[in-house]
C-alpha cells in the first residue's frame, strides 16, 4: 500500500490512568491504577473501530500488569502496541540505569502478553530533550526501533526547540542510531505549538484544530495524541478531592484546569480521525523508508 504522507495521520494513545498518576505526582500518594483507564480506552477503541482505523497505543507496563485483557484487546483489534515506560517516570527524574529497567521491563511484559514484537517508545510528558538526550541511547539499547518523544517546540514543561519536524534517523550521543518520529507542531502567532493533542485539542475550537491538522499534513504525517483520562468527565473519587483540598492553591488550580472542556475531546478526536483515517506509526515509518534513507540527525549530550 502506497502512503501519501501529505494525507497520512497516526492517531496515538498514551495509555495511563489519570487518577493514580495525579495521586502520586500531585499529592505523593501511591495507589494502583484504577479501572477508569480500561473504560475510557475501550471507548477510544470504539472510535477507531467506527472509522475503520488503526493507531499506536503507547502503554505503561503497570497498566499491562494490572489490566492484561485490555492490552490483549488493543493488539487483537489490529493496533500497534508500544511502550510509555513502566511507572510513568519522566527521564528528567531518572538515571540511565533506572530508565533501562523501566523500559526493558515494560517492553518484555507487553511482548509476553501479546506474542508480538514492540517497536516503539514514547517518554512520559515528552521528557526527551537536549538535557536528557542520553535517554535515546537507553531506548536504543532496550531494542526499540523508533522513539516518538520529542516535541520540536518550546513549551512550559517539555520541548526540544529547533529539532526537525520530519521523521529522521538520530545518531545518538554514544553513536547508536534510532528513528525519531517527532510530535506534530504548527506555527501560530510566531511560535510553534503542539496543536494536535493535549490541552490544545481540548481547549481550541474544533475548526482551528482542523485547520492546524491539515496544515501539518501538507508536509508531514500528522501525529495526534490523546490520553484515556481526557475522555473522563465523571467526578473523580472522594479520596482524590480529599487530597486536592490540602494542596497549595497553584496545584489546586492547575489540576482543576485540566477539566475545562473535557466534554468536547471525544467528539473532536473522532471528527479529526474522519478527515484522513489513521494508521500505526510503524507503518508510516516503513513506508517512509522505501526507496530512500531517512534524513540523519547527529546529536550530542551537549546539544
Burial of 65 (0-12, 13-18, 19+ CB in 10 A): middle
Whether residue 301 is predicted with pLDDT greater than 70 in this model: the reply is no
CATH of domain 5-298: 3.20.20.370
CA atoms within 13 A on the CB side of 126: 23
- Tell me which DSSP letter residue 92 carries: G
Under the banding of pLDDT at 50, 70 and 90, the label for residue 302 is low
Task: Record the cell numbers describing residue 175, joined without a space.
Answer: 553513536
Per DSSP, the three-state class of 9 is strand
241, 23 in Cβ contact below 8 A? Answer: no
Spatial distance between the Cα atoms of 16 and 36, rounded to a whole number of angstroms: 10
Average pLDDT, the chain: 94
Q: Residue 173: is its pLDDT beyond 90?
A: no
Query: In this structure, how many other beta carbons lie within 10 angstroms of the beta carbon of residue 274?
Result: 13
The share of the chain scoring above pLDDT 90, in percent, equals 91
pLDDT at 241: 97
Half-sphere exposure of 276 (CA within 13 A, CB side): 24
SS (H, E, C) 97-113: HHHHHHHHHHHHHHHHH
- Using pLDDT thresholds of 50, 70 and 90, give the confidence band for residue 6: very low
- Averaged over 70-75, what is the pLDDT? 98
Residue partners of 263: CB distance under 8 A and separation at least 6: 233
Enter the DSSP assignment of 10.
Answer: E
Q: What is the predicted pLDDT for the residue at 292?
A: 82
Q: Domain spans of the chain?
A: 5-298
CA distance 165 to 136: 17
Per-residue pLDDT of 13-42, as tens digits, reads 999 999 999 999 999 999 999 999 999 999
Return the closest-CA partner of residue 121 out of 86, 96, 149. 149
Sign of the Cα pseudo-torsion (63, 224, 188, 204, in order) = negative
Q: Which residues contact 175 (CB under 8 A, 6 or more apart)?
A: none
Q: Give the integer Cα–Cα distance in Å for 271 and 172.
A: 38
Q: For the whole model, what pTM was predicted?
A: 0.95
Q: Where does the pLDDT of residue 303 fall: very low under 50, low under 70, confident under 90, or very high at 90 and above? A: very low
Distance separating alpha carbons of residues 175 and 88, to the nearest angstrom: 27
Nine cell digits for residue 29: 500518594
Counting every residue written for the chain, the total comes to: 303
Set of cell numbers at residue 70: 485490555
Amino acid at each position: 500500500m502506497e502512503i501519501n504522507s501529505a494525507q497520512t495521520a497516526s492517531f496515538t494513545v498514551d495509555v495511563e490512568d489519570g487518577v493514580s498518576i495525579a495521586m502520586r505526582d500531585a499529592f505523593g500518594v501511591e495507589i494502583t491504577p484504577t479501572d477508569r483507564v480500561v473504560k475510557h480506552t475501550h471507548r477510544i477503541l470504539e472510535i477507531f473501530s467506527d472509522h475503520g482505523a488503526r493507531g499506536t497505543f503507547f502503554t505503561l507496563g503497570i497498566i499491562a500488569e494490572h489490566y492484561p485483557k485490555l492490552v490483549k484487546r488493543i493488539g487483537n483489534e489490529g493496533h500497534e502496541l508500544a511502550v510509555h515506560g513502566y511507572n510513568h517516570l519522566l527521564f528528567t527524574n531518572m538515571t540511565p540505569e533506572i530508565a533501562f529497567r523501566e523500559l526493558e521491563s515494560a517492553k518484555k511484559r507487553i511482548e509476553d502478553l501479546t506474542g508480538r514484537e514492540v517497536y516503539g517508545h514514547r517518554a512520559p510528558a515528552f521528557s526527551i530533550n537536549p538535557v536528557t538526550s542520553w535517554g535515546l541511547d537507553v531506548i536504543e539499547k532496550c531494542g526499540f526501533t523508533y522513539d516518538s518523544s520529542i516535541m520540536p517546540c518550546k513549551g512550559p514543561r517539555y520541548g526540544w526547540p529547533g529539532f526537525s519536524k520530519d521523521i529522521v534517523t538520530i545518531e545518538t550521543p554514544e553513536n547508536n542510531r534510532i528513528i525519531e518520529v517527532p510530535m506534530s507542531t504548527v506555527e501560530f502567532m510566531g511560535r510553534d505549538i503542539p496543536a494536535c493533542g493535549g490541552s490544545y485539542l481540548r481547549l481550541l475550537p474544533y475548526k482551528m484544530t482542523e485547520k492546524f491538522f491539515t496544515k501539518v499534513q501538507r508536509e508531514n504525517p500528522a501525529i495526534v495524541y490523546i490520553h484515556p483520562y481526557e475522555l473522563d468527565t465523571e467526578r473523580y473519587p472522594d479520596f482524590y478531592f480529599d487530597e486536592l483540598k490540602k494542596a497549595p492553591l497553584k496545584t489546586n488550580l492547575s489540576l482543576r484546569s485540566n477539566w475545562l472542556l473535557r466534554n468536547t475531546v471525544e467528539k473532536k478526536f473522532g471528527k479529526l480521525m474522519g478527515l484522513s483515517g489513521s494508521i500505526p506509526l510503524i507503518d508510516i515509518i516503513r513506508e517512509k523508508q522505501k526507496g530512500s534513507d531517512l534524513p540523519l540527525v547527529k546529536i550530542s549530550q551537549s546539544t
